[in-house]
Structure 1
């Protein structure tokens, strides 16, 4: 099976998974808001973010292990593969033990500064432990399977198992919340779908990788890049989690709930975008490992072209339609104001900047250039955290989102120069000019919405307007492609046609 076909299989399965994630991501917060209120919703979001930070004890282990497996998988070197996965398993167990200790500390401390009306200290502590169960199972079971499947470009297996987990998890939350079951019991029951996912992956790996052994003498040197990969994971965690943590400390849990609802939509968009990039890191890693420079340049240029056009379509539509969606979604929630149009625009700007650097960031992972980018990653994290805290005090969520946007802007500029110099050896202007062109077209398409007032009272009307805007913007960007990026457009179309014919 060639790389393009693997990409298609991974993309189709990921499309299903991300669609389910997006739907579930819209369903479960709604039930939490209606049946438990904004404060509980903010509490759960806040706890989950602290747990995300604790996951950093993985210290880049997954990325380093996947990178180290590219070459032995390409060479079919079973002994080397087993040595790497054995080392990964050992370090995952150690990391899991550290994670468990951190969770216990959080369970003891967190209730002291995040008090909730009518919820005892001990219940909040137990909720912390229940919500951490997913990560705990990841460290001690799922992670060792995920490493080999990701490196072997078989993320479709992970996606299918995770799809089953999300469906079962959503059913648990919906059914139990409707019956007003205590929120702690709800999340304890939600552990069951996690076990189902792990069993499925364990069965697949044992059946299809009969040579795989986690008892081989570990090759710890293969994971040397894990400490450098840690910097990259820190900045990713900061981008995802800093707003929630800063808002928890400097605002209120209800404000955290406002952030979580807007961010829910952004996560839904990122889920859609993950469909088109999932598994590609391994594909590009394979090209880099084989030193196929010309193929790398061509494949990367096509991916960047397609991905940039996609994100500018999606985020231009989001700039117009996001606040309408949030208003409809929170129509029955009155304990806090969710109608904040300027905040919606800031979320869109930050989301666009975050995704503009995705193609370049993916190549950093594929090439294993963690050490070479660690100071840039650290600078981005510091901008988000320090500026976020300084601006959160006078401006609340608005200040936090401005800080995040500026940190992403810095990283976009940095990677636009770093990747051509160190990996692709292409012209910097190619990506920069493409971004500027798309930005100009998107702004021109967005401006009319500021003067055209529409009434959007339900999701059906919202969907109609969203489709109309999508078609309008897609046509505008297609014209831009025909005028300025025709070669890349036709090359991408040709690749897709050849792949379909080869089936």
Structure 2
């Protein structure tokens, strides 16, 4: 079966965007409500527990990604027996992972106070609250999370996005009502569990309805098991790397600076992560199609597609970087208050962090589509170790600035430079990586120029509040795009990507 890659991607992008609006805007309202009603320490505590459980979720080892990758070929060959066997294997592994996370989560309980620098709200029992967060994490693994693999492999994530949108709207609405009327943080946390359970049941229901022929039965061959095990080893290391980059940042901020600083850091990180999650819609929407393309198209065709998609993606990422630089401070002041504002130096570091993170996203789609996780093993190990060591030493002496800088160093030199070389070594074999690096250098320089020009013009606006924020946003949406058109209009990437994009949109 050759999937309708363009049609599925457009549908996934549309509903994925709607889902991100819900899962970004409403949590932001909830965070603001918590800060104003309960205080920053409550928000910091929730961020800390989420980070701890993200570390525990390392035991997932990327099983989902490995199984989805293993489904690309049987989908292309209409091999339903293999798909059924893979789903049964996935179900068994995920249940075992859920039980393991629960056990490890319970073991961590005695050391919770040591992960908090200073005091925490005396009205809360941190052990009870942590158990609620732990149950929320485990629930997906022991229920029907494995069903989502079919939606990903068939490029139908629009279904799970729609389910998430509806359930989360209701959940966040009731969370806000509970915070305002009862100020009860326990009830707020319990709703997280209820939301997760409902989402799991609905995903299972609609997956069964859409793919009734694919059920949990049969066993995969020993050869397939061995192949998945190799992929899992690489994915495990990749997952460790990702967690060392994200979750440990919050833990180190809590250890060195306390819960209040953790809340401030996580406000800035959440804003950046919100933009990142919107862009992630692109990679999530095209991954199944790219996996199908890897099985059915030539390497040169896939490289040409990657360059086109990467050009469009980095254009969007550049505009987002400009927006972050110009809007971070006024946005934080308006919605969180002046006491929650970091310095402009921290803002610049967050913007560089965001842009460097985006540089490797499209390349990563092709890494996942080719299952090159084991080939990335040394890169993942060294990046994780470097990030943890740099986080500790730089965070200890330079605080938040050191923690962000630590992530930046490992992200650029190890993740981007080294990681890009791996896919050219194992997949784009006969293609020089120099062009790829050169294009990213051009995109980065152009983005820096756009940031400098737009920021200085925005600083001329002396209007405070939401009105001033709106005028800055208008400038950020128009000026960088004009600059990019002037810089890129004569490049072959622009001439190839823009007609292709317009055609895909209008088809």
TM norm structure 2: 0.93
User: Against the structure 1 CA distance between its residues 379 and 181, is the aligned structure 2 distance closer, same or farther, given a 3 Å change threshold?
Assistant: same
| Residue 249 of structure 2 is aligned to residue 246 of structure 1 | no
Tell me which of 345, 348, 353 is aligned to 1:350.
353
CA displacement 1:353-410 (0-9 Å, x = unmatched): 1111111122211111111111101111122110110011111111000101111111
| Residue 494 of structure 2 is aligned to residue 489 of structure 1 | yes
Tell me which of 230, 233, 246 is aligned to 1:227.
233
Matched residue, 2:94: 92
On the 8 A contact 1:287/1:295 being kept in 2, the answer is: no
Q: Give, in angstroms, the shift of residue 453 of structure 1.
A: 4.0
Aligned-partner SS, 2:128: helix
Tell me which of 394, 417, 420 is aligned to 1:416.
420
1:85-484 alignment, distance < 5 Å:
85-111=87-113, 113-114=115-116, 115-120=119-124, 123-219=125-221, 220-221=225-226, 223-224=228-229, 225-331=231-337, 334=339, 337-410=340-413, 411-425=415-429, 426-448=431-453, 449-450=455-456, 452-483=459-490
Q: Which moved more, 1:271-280 or 1:89-98?
A: 271-280
| Residue 22 of structure 2 is aligned to residue 20 of structure 1 | yes
Distance 1:346 1:322 in 2: 12
Q: Give, in angstroms, the shift of residue 45 of structure 1.
A: 0.3
Matched residue, 1:81: 83
User: Against the structure 1 CA distance between its residues 453 and 499, is the aligned structure 2 distance closer, same or farther, given a 3 Å change threshold?
Assistant: closer
Distance 1:236 1:282 in 2: 21
On the 8 A contact 2:140/2:197 being kept in 1, the answer is: no
Aligned-partner SS, 1:131: helix
Q: Which moved more, 1:211-220 or 1:150-159?
A: 211-220
User: Against the structure 1 CA distance between its residues 447 and 386, is the aligned structure 2 distance closer, same or farther, given a 3 Å change threshold?
Assistant: same
Q: Give, in angstroms, the shift of residue 190 of structure 1.
A: 3.3
Distance 2:182 2:343 in 1: 30
On the 8 A contact 1:107/1:124 being kept in 2, the answer is: no
Distance 2:462 2:136 in 1: 41
Unaligned runs of 5+ in 2: none
CA displacement 1:47-77 (0-9 Å, x = unmatched): 1000111111111211110111110111111
On the 8 A contact 2:82/2:220 being kept in 1, the answer is: no
On the 8 A contact 2:136/2:192 being kept in 1, the answer is: no
Distance 1:455 1:51 in 2: 43
User: Against the structure 1 CA distance between its residues 133 and 165, is the aligned structure 2 distance closer, same or farther, given a 3 Å change threshold?
Assistant: farther
User: Against the structure 1 CA distance between its residues 103 and 384, is the aligned structure 2 distance closer, same or farther, given a 3 Å change threshold?
Assistant: same
Q: Give, in angstroms, the shift of residue 197 of structure 1.
A: 1.3
On the 8 A contact 1:18/1:274 being kept in 2, the answer is: no
Q: Give, in angstroms, the shift of residue 459 of structure 1.
A: 2.4
On the 8 A contact 1:239/1:404 being kept in 2, the answer is: yes
Distance 2:192 2:467 in 1: 31
CA displacement 1:224-273 (0-9 Å, x = unmatched): 21122111111112222121011122221111111110011101111221
| Residue 4 of structure 2 is aligned to residue 2 of structure 1 | yes
CA displacement 1:103-140 (0-9 Å, x = unmatched): 222334314543413135xx211111212333212212
Distance 1:34 1:501 in 2: 45
Distance 2:480 2:498 in 1: 20
Aligned-partner SS, 1:455: coil
Q: Give, in angstroms, the shift of residue 320 of structure 1.
A: 2.1
Instruction: Tell me how large the CA RMSD over aligned residues is.
Output: 1.9
Distance 1:113 1:52 in 2: 15
Aligned-partner SS, 1:217: coil
Q: Give, in angstroms, the shift of residue 454 of structure 1.
A: 3.1
Aligned-partner SS, 1:132: helix
Q: Which moved more, 1:189-198 or 1:339-348?
A: 189-198
On the 8 A contact 2:245/2:387 being kept in 1, the answer is: yes
Tell me which of 31, 34, 37 is aligned to 1:32.
34
Distance 1:206 1:439 in 2: 45
CA displacement 1:463-502 (0-9 Å, x = unmatched): 221221221011111122212x2x3333333334444564
TM norm structure 1: 0.94
